[in-house]
Structure 1
Amino acid sequence: MKSIIIASTSTVHGSGYLEYLLKELEIHFKSADTIIFVPYARPGGISHDAYTETAAKAFAKIGKTVKGLHEFDNAEEAIKKAQGIFVGGGNTFVLVSQLYKNNVLLPIKDAVKNGTPYLGTSAGSNICGLTMNTTNDMPIIYPPSFKTLGLVPFNINPHYLDPIEGSTHMGETRETRIKEFHAYNSQPVIGIREGSWIEVKDDKLTLRGTLEARIFEYNKAPYEIATNSDLDFLK
């Protein structure tokens, strides 16, 4: 049975790394003693070792051991044997490039479909969608493809931001960017605000967390859905 948490962010304002999710993660990874962490997205150019250490400190609070995928000689085999998988945030272009380079994109997809629990935050959530094309990140490297894991039948926009009332900012809003995406693509997009996540249990999809999410469907006006809403209508 698929068991996935697709979180907008790893850190909400005023809390530590993964702190707001730890109770959920204790249940989510209850059958895993060791979690394989994929540090490829490297936020701010942080090293793989330093990023893995950050994840390890957070999971130690719930009695879990973390090993960085970069520490294994054979990344594909490590994923196949993983008890749990966590793909962290950072730059989605860098993440997807490295997943293809190390031949682990499809093994991760297969592992999750076969029941290995998965956590994604930010960039690690972007890749759960059909493509990475609704990322907010700068294209600092060119991946072989924009196709990603396709674990859910839509695209994801983590860290979704609403326009600020009264702002004099003249650049595009997040909603405008997603409308641009829909000029060339037809799949739905979910804008997940920080502090919320999508829970996937087999084929059931549910919005969790404290905030509403914004839904963008092709040729429809965007609309809000409440937390704890069923997302199965987007299949």
Structure 2
Amino acid sequence: MRLLLLSNSTMPGEAYLGYPKKEILNFLGEKPVNALFIPFAAVTFSFDEYEQKVNDSLQEIGHKVVGIHRFDDPVKAVAEAEAIVVGGGNTWQLVRMLHDQDLMEPIRKKVKAGTPYMGWSAGSNVACPTLRTTNDMPIIDPKGFNTLNLVPFQINPHYLDANPEGHGGETREQRISEFLEINPGTYVVGLREGTMFKLEGGALSLIGDRTTRIFLKGKTPYELQVGDDFSFLLND
């Protein structure tokens, strides 16, 4: 499999998909790719607008996307895709629409066969076994929490170490600890903004200038950085 899983799309003060653009080019290659785009996580703006926003960014590196909502047969569109790109937004809405259109298994099969998959935020969440480490509000019944299961660990994108000053609610680490109580044996990765995972040639690597935080029930959370060995995360 070839995966590029981003914590987020955009860093403050940068253009949309600005920080990962070089890595996207490295991932998709120099030859122009017309990727299938899944915009289902968009809630407050249209799928057409989302498609255009992504294309405005990717055209700078010679690639483009076409939204799956434009196809009469979305399952066939997945089967014929050169690459699959899944945008961020609300993970619950994304999963609901993937289930409604019976796309989970076709996407899983296509990516397992070698088609490149790129996602950010919610698009990275759904590459995991379930959506249960998303940060998003459950605005809709997802018709099941299981997702693509392309990797055997869970990602928590946009990971933050502490709450804002004056906020008395649970920290992100506390919420992940709750998940681990119910799901012992599952690794959760706190993927900080500006970082991403790449899976290529069976090797999982971290890209970015920040560390990532590793959680497992019974172990003290710890940090790993670019160049460290992440192979243990791929063990089922």
Same fold (TM over 0.5): yes
TM-score under structure 1 normalisation?
A: 0.95
2:227 maps to: 228
The equivalent position to 1:185 in structure 2, one of 180, 183, 186, is 183
2:59 maps to: 60
Residue identity opposite 2:40 in structure 1: Y
Give the superposed CA RMSD. 1.3
Are the aligned partners of 1:122 and 1:159 in contact in 2 as well (CA < 8 Å)?
yes
In 2: Cα distance, 1:136 partner to 1:10 partner: 15
3-state SS in 2 of match to 1:182 = helix
Counterparts in 2 of 1:202-221, with a 5 A limit? 202-221=201-220
Residue identity opposite 1:93 in structure 2: W
In 1: Cα distance, 2:145 partner to 2:19 partner: 30
In 1: Cα distance, 2:216 partner to 2:33 partner: 40
In 2: Cα distance, 1:76 partner to 1:203 partner: 27
Counterparts in 2 of 1:24-173, with a 5 A limit? 24-30=23-29, 33-42=33-42, 44-163=43-162, 167-173=165-171
- The runs of 5 or more residues in structure 2 that have no matched partner are none
Count of aligned positions: 232
Residue identity opposite 1:172 in structure 2: E
Are the aligned partners of 2:163 and 2:171 in contact in 1 as well (CA < 8 Å)?
no
In 2: Cα distance, 1:35 partner to 1:69 partner: 10
Compute the displacement of 1:218 (Å). Answer: 1.6
1:175 maps to: 173
1:194 aligned onto 2:198: no
In 1: Cα distance, 2:102 partner to 2:227 partner: 35
Are the aligned partners of 2:6 and 2:195 in contact in 1 as well (CA < 8 Å)?
yes
Compute the displacement of 1:203 (Å). Answer: 2.1
Q: Deviations over 1:191-221 (max 9, x none)?
A: 0000000110142111111110000012211
- Percent of residue pairs bearing the same amino acid type: 44
In 2: Cα distance, 1:146 partner to 1:41 partner: 15
Displaced runs of 4 or more, over 4 A: none
Residue identity opposite 2:170 in structure 1: E
Q: Deviations over 1:50-85 (max 9, x none)?
A: 111101111111111210010000001101110011
In 2: Cα distance, 1:100 partner to 1:168 partner: 39
Are the aligned partners of 1:8 and 1:196 in contact in 2 as well (CA < 8 Å)?
yes
Compute the displacement of 1:95 (Å). Answer: 0.2
TM-score under structure 2 normalisation?
A: 0.95
In 2: Cα distance, 1:84 partner to 1:211 partner: 27
3-state SS in 2 of match to 1:157 = strand
